[in-house]
Structure 1
Amino acid sequence: MWDSESDSTVGREYGNGVLNSSKQEVKNDGFERRDQSWHVTTDIPSDLLVQVGEVSFYLHKYPLLSRSGRINRTIYESKEIELKRVKLDDLPGGPDAFELAAKFCYGVPVDLTPANISSLRCAAEYLEMTEDLEEGNLIFKTEAFLSYVVLSSWRDSILVLKNCEQLSPWAENLQIVRRCSESIAWKACANPRGIKWAYTGKPTNVSSPKWSENKETSPSRNQPVPPDWWFEDVTILRIDHFVRVVTAIKVKGMRFELIGAAIMQYATKWLPGLVKEGAGENGNNKDNSWKGGTLHMIVAGSKEDLPSIQMKEQRMIVESLISIIPPQKDSVSCSFLLRLLRMASMLKVAPALVTELEKRVGMQFEQANLADLLIPAYNKSETLYDVDLVQRILEHFLVQEQTEPSSPRRQSFSDKHGYEGSPRHSSHNAKMRVARLVDSYLTEVSRDRNLSLTKFQVLAETLPETARTCDDGLYRAIDSYLKAHPMLSEHERKRLCRVMDCQKLSIDACMHAAQNERLPLRVVVQVLFSEQVKINNAIANNALKDSGESHYHPVIPTRKTLLEGTPQSFQEGWAMAKKDINTLKFELESVKATYLQLQTDMENLQRQMEKMTKQKQTSAWSSGWKKLSKLTKMSSMESHESGLQEPVLLQAEQVRKPRRWRNSIS
């Protein structure tokens, strides 16, 4: 192998010695530039004009025809008898590359360097400067320099790959990109003991990493080579070439956490605003070391919001980075994934990649912090924050926990790098951390008046009940939602409070809830009752400890004793609640009295109706009997006349008896 000093020396000797041509058909003293044209200083006038872009080259046919198959074919296949002008607008490398190729054709010494070798190799391929025309032609020379000089040097491989960005697709088709990427990957994965640590991106007086085959050579007396020594160099590459390098490094078997750290550093450099200073809940997250700029709250993506790189380029960068993140958990931090997800939502990245990124966040959701979770809604939603996105991430987290319930959890990103406050936890503790995070998120987004009650309730109830040992955070979120939505009906407020378990509230939360006028009265009563039960149990436990008895049955204290052991604020809350209860009882008694009065009035009306009905029936019966009495009198008179008085009297008596019976019936 060569170190950086020997690389440049070999390149200069190789260029000045081998590229000198002894077969100069046209005597020349060199090339000179006049405005936008190049002229050969010879005694023979030029007979061919080569136009490359806006630059004109006044040359001679024979030196070019002897070494360039393309120009040779262009001239001889032309319909013009004397072709004096050739246009090469699509030549890779442009006028600079053609200048070097023309000098080579004239036998002028050409210095091959990492800065010009890629463009000159592509230009030689374009001009078809092969061995069929002349031995040792330009294709052979440049290919040898690439293989034996460039690919042996770390710095030269990086610079050549960087210069290939303007040579697509020629550099890709000539395998320059592939060979440089594999060379970089091989050196990045090699044992760093043979490297003297230095960066390519540093000033020119600082050499690049030096490679030595001698194992006795010490890497550096001042400081050892860190494992991420290659990060800064590869981040200067364009995204497609960076992907090629990272893919080759993966094949070599590098540790996934180093690959993830390189991806994060690349994103910091090429995605301004992705990472902010002071990231993390406690401010001691490693994310603080990536300072790519200030994070702005972008509500709608536009070109004005992206001053450094166009949206299309940033979308391509985000999509490429998502596709090369190692599949292992904790290869990158959750904070980085969430910020990348924010940009993906803003830039309208492909839905499949967004879903993949959401799953990755769900795998390590317990490491997230609230600031990164507040992702604005870029899809023209009514809400300020994308609550649906957090809901999907939470569902991915629960699915991940269910699929791997018994597997040991890997060490988190912060554990591996020695950060505080992130020890290894069990699955249950991870759910508890996520529950606290979700409660904090609900408290923050509940201030949005456009947040519907259904979305709030669904997000709060997604986690199982066992995930929350205390519902104080959920109570704060509910109270914040009630403040921001004062027009909720009684039914909606009760529905909102159902997501909370009153028995899981602390004493401070119960004291606050007892005086909270926004809560439904039923919830206040439940809070007071649960707190009374807690006080009873506490008194019983204290009495048990004082007495030292093993079998103690606590006696329910009197109301006076209970109130004496209750805080004053709690007593005031209980008094207010009791006053409200008494008011409701009084109103209920009033309603009952009104109901009884109405029932009495109804019974009176029914009696009057019955009397009226009875009178009508009585008048009908009396008129009928009057007619019957007339007939009886007439018959009695006739009987008297005929001497039949006794039978008539008997008949009259028989008639009167059913009358008395009917009257009694009526």
Structure 2
Amino acid sequence: MTCDLEVDVNGEEIFLVDKEVLSSFSGKLRELTSKTLATSATRNLRVTLHGLPGGAEAFELMTRFCYNNGRTQISPSNICLLHCIAHFMEMTGDLLSLTKKSLQGIPYWSWPEIMSCLKRCQDLIPVASSSGMLDKVICSLVGRITAVSDASPSGSSPESSAFRFSCDTGSTTSAKNNSIHRGAWWFDELVVLNPDMIEEIIRKMAVEKANHVVIGRFLMHYLKNGGVCSAAADKKKAAEVIIDLLYSLDGSSVSSKSLFGLLRVSSPLKPSKCCQTKLESMIGNQFDQATLDNLLIPAPSGMNSLYDVNLILRFLRSFLRSGGRDSANRLEQVGSLMDSYLAEVAPDSSLKPLKFLALITALPDEARDCHDAIYRAIDLYLEVHTRISDEEKMKICSAINYEKLSSESCKHIGRNTKFPSGTAVRALISQQTKLRSLLKGTDQLRKPGHDPDRDDDDDDDEQIILYKKKLDLTREHEKLKSQLQGMQWKVMELEKMCRKMQRQMSKAMKTRIAGSSGSRSLPRLCS
């Protein structure tokens, strides 16, 4: 044999080979050498191979096959290299047919052999995928996982047809880890694969109707334990792949707690805008399951506030878009959560009035039965933000539904100098409305024939409005406080009177019913 051909493989290494031997097996080399002969004045030829899958290692395997008259040992550890280089080098002879024949034996491969092949394939995905080899190996892997998803490899016999592949020497990590659910025995096995390979596997599992909850748990496990993601770019790629895959699963596949954990890990990596939107949408859909600690997310650098309130507002919009307002229970849970959040962010001196107002008004009115918590949060905000204008104060206070304030909160507003004077008027009107309702109820108790549908409130409403318009808030503020306190006392006294009259009326009605039945009371016997 003569070494009359120099082959530069991907700029990594130069091989001196026999042109005739290798060209007899490789159509690509025949084409390259023919072009080189036509333009070269020397007898020694040199060709360069760019993008050869597997690089120098794969080329060396190919040359051994050629020098050995088309014979080589094919195993799961080298079949991927041989199959890919056979495609790339256009080897129409025995090597391609041998690798295809060997792939037919995948159902009989052990689990470590499948994993060994996948590890090779992940560096050769473009060629391995286009040649169809990767799909065959992944199908076999997914089939093994789904076939034993309800069993534990550690409790099975190595000779068992269902578990032989998962109990070989190279697959012991899961068997030793009793803390992982037996259906998740494969979690630790797959964390060594890169994000592209994980994406291929998980999408195949979804097509095969694998349990989405198990898939979701694996993806969170991979994000936490993946050993191949060392560089920042690799970590970002892994986070983006995981977000995309989770978004394609059922909405309940991953807990709210896990999604917030994913948010904490992925945010510093700055994933794409599309991925951020998908993650925020998933969190928003489960926002009623969040906790206050989940929401206290520090603001990103450059944002002039302690907490990322813009992010919380986006969560709320996603929650409402996903149908959150259609469930009274879920809506009330979010309302209670936001009341707690408002109390936490209100003391932030850098929180702008309009942003604080946006947090208060983000939910519809039916999310809260009582506005006392909103009043307390505004009270905290005004205590810290002493320099905001009266106009800004009035805008914030306009978010309070005074009809949903307790009598105690209305009384407190009347004494609260931090609030604009107009709020005391609105609190007074609210108290007068409650008082009028109590008086109306008392009148109905005294006059059972009273028509409840008759509207007697128009004149009173007009008088209250006229009173409000004529009131000089600057001079009458202290007088208004006293009047409000007096109204508060009257409300409580009337409430007691109503309860007493209701008991009396109930007793009288019972006596009247007993008398109408025709019976008469008997004298009490002396003891």
For normalisation by structure 2, the TM-score amounts to: 0.68
1:163 to 110, 117, 120: 120
1:233 to 189, 194, 216: 189
The structure where helix makes up a greater share of residues is 2
Counterparts in 2 of 1:64 and 1:401: CA distance versus 1, 3 Å: closer
Residue equivalent to 2:446 = none
Deviation for aligned residue 1:393: 2.5
Q: State whether structure 2 residue 44 is matched by structure 1 residue 123.
A: no
Q: In 1, Cα distance between the equivalents of 2:181 and 2:316?
A: 41
Q: Deviations over 1:126-154 (max 9, x none)?
A: 233322xxxxx222222322331478444
Q: In 1, Cα distance between the equivalents of 2:74 and 2:407?
A: 79
Q: In 1, Cα distance between the equivalents of 2:294 and 2:288?
A: 13
Residue equivalent to 1:330 = 252
Residue equivalent to 1:481 = 381
Residue equivalent to 2:138 = 181
Residue equivalent to 2:63 = 102
Contact kept, 8 Å, 2:148 with 2:183, in 1: the verdict is: no
What code does the residue aligned with 1:363 have? N
Q: State whether structure 2 residue 242 is matched by structure 1 residue 321.
A: yes
Q: Give RMSD over aligned pairs.
A: 4.1
Q: In 1, Cα distance between the equivalents of 2:357 and 2:107?
A: 62
Contact kept, 8 Å, 1:46 with 1:60, in 2: the verdict is: yes
Deviation for aligned residue 1:485: 0.8
Q: Deviations over 1:611-651 (max 9, x none)?
A: xxxxxxxxxxxxxxxxxxxxxxxxxxxxxxxxxxxxxxxxx
Q: In 2, Cα distance between the equivalents of 1:361 and 1:222?
A: 30
Residue equivalent to 1:172 = 129
Deviation for aligned residue 1:71: 2.9
Structure 1, unaligned runs of 5 or more: 1-43, 132-136, 199-205, 212-219, 273-306, 406-426, 554-666
What code does the residue aligned with 1:183 have? S
What code does the residue aligned with 2:58 have? A
Q: In 2, Cα distance between the equivalents of 1:402 and 1:45?
A: 77
Secondary structure in structure 1 of the residue aligned to 2:122: helix
Counterparts in 2 of 1:149 and 1:186: CA distance versus 1, 3 Å: closer
Q: Deviations over 1:36-89 (max 9, x none)?
A: xxxxxxxx6744443333434344344423433333443344324633444335
Q: In 1, Cα distance between the equivalents of 2:376 and 2:118?
A: 56
1:400 to 299, 304, 322: 322
Q: In 1, Cα distance between the equivalents of 2:347 and 2:138?
A: 51
Residue equivalent to 2:290 = 368
Contact kept, 8 Å, 1:362 with 1:397, in 2: the verdict is: yes
What code does the residue aligned with 1:386 have? D
Counterparts in 2 of 1:221 and 1:51: CA distance versus 1, 3 Å: closer
Q: Deviations over 1:321-354 (max 9, x none)?
A: 3332245331212233345456666655554544
Equivalent residues in 2 for 1:490-501 (5 A)?
Answer: 490-501=390-401
Q: Deviations over 1:352-375 (max 9, x none)?
A: 544444333332210112233234
Q: In 2, Cα distance between the equivalents of 1:533 and 1:433?
A: 34
Counterparts in 2 of 1:222 and 1:395: CA distance versus 1, 3 Å: closer
Contact kept, 8 Å, 2:110 with 2:164, in 1: the verdict is: no
Residue equivalent to 1:585 = none
Equivalent residues in 2 for 1:39-78 (5 A)?
Answer: 46-52=3-9, 53-78=11-36
Contact kept, 8 Å, 1:151 with 1:157, in 2: the verdict is: no
Contact kept, 8 Å, 2:151 with 2:182, in 1: the verdict is: no
Contact kept, 8 Å, 1:194 with 1:210, in 2: the verdict is: no
Residue equivalent to 2:359 = 459
Q: In 2, Cα distance between the equivalents of 1:166 and 1:45?
A: 33
Identity of aligned residues (%): 32
Structure 2, unaligned runs of 5 or more: 156-162, 169-174, 429-483, 509-527
Q: Deviations over 1:194-218 (max 9, x none)?
A: 76249xxxxxxx996149xxxxxxx
Secondary structure in structure 1 of the residue aligned to 2:76: coil
Q: In 2, Cα distance between the equivalents of 1:390 and 1:542?
A: 44
Q: Deviations over 1:84-140 (max 9, x none)?
A: 444335321111122222222232985544333212221222233322xxxxx2222
Q: State whether structure 2 residue 66 is matched by structure 1 residue 145.
A: no
Q: Deviations over 1:434-488 (max 9, x none)?
A: 0122122222333333322222223212323332233343233213312331112
Contact kept, 8 Å, 1:117 with 1:142, in 2: the verdict is: yes
Equivalent residues in 2 for 1:175-214 (5 A)?
Answer: 175-192=132-149, 196-197=153-154, 209-210=166-167
Q: State whether structure 2 residue 211 is matched by structure 1 residue 255.
A: yes
Deviation for aligned residue 1:402: 6.7
Q: State whether structure 2 residue 371 is matched by structure 1 residue 471.
A: yes
Q: In 2, Cα distance between the equivalents of 1:513 and 1:107?
A: 95
Q: Deviations over 1:167-203 (max 9, x none)?
A: 24211211222222222222222244776249xxxxx
Q: State whether structure 2 residue 198 is matched by structure 1 residue 242.
A: yes
1:436 to 319, 336, 349: 336
Equivalent residues in 2 for 1:415-564 (5 A)?
Answer: 427-501=327-401, 504=404, 517-520=417-420, 523=423, 526=427, 529=485, 532=489, 535-536=492-493, 539-540=496-497, 549-550=504-505
What code does the residue aligned with 1:324 have? L
Counterparts in 2 of 1:379 and 1:77: CA distance versus 1, 3 Å: same
Secondary structure in structure 1 of the residue aligned to 2:15: strand
Contact kept, 8 Å, 1:197 with 1:225, in 2: the verdict is: no
What code does the residue aligned with 1:489 have? S
Counterparts in 2 of 1:231 and 1:489: CA distance versus 1, 3 Å: same
Larger Rg belongs to: 1
Contact kept, 8 Å, 2:54 with 2:81, in 1: the verdict is: yes
Q: In 2, Cα distance between the equivalents of 1:366 and 1:267?
A: 25
Contact kept, 8 Å, 1:544 with 1:552, in 2: the verdict is: no
